[in-house]
Amino acid sequence: MVTRIEKIEHGKVVQRAERGSDSFYHCYPEGQTMAKYMTRCSNLEEAAEFLTKNKRGRIRMNPDWSLIVDNIHIDGKPRESL
């Protein structure tokens, strides 16, 4: 069970995946930023699966509801290692 998806830089958590106002996690394939390409994930398990299958996929994180592609860690492990 996945408990957290975070952006970690220099050993510090700087952003965390959070649900949008529609109660879903928002993931996007590589190079896409438009809502029509978004995959809505109902839980962190689904979001983690999307991110590990799409190694350059993106996810929205707070603060600032940014679209993150680099330095993504799933339960503390770099996405690239999963």
Mean pLDDT for the stretch of residues 8-22: 97
Has residue 45 got a pLDDT over 90?
yes
How confident is the model at residue 67, as a pLDDT?
A: 96
Has residue 32 got a pLDDT over 90?
yes
How confident is the model at residue 82, as a pLDDT?
A: 86
Quickly state the pLDDT bin for 56 (edges 50, 70, 90).
Answer: very high
Has residue 50 got a pLDDT over 90?
yes
As a three-state string, the secondary structure of the chain is CCCCEEEEECCEEEEEECCCCCCCEEEECCCCCCHHHCEEECCHHHHHHHHHHCCCCEEEEECCCEEECCCEEECCEEHHHC
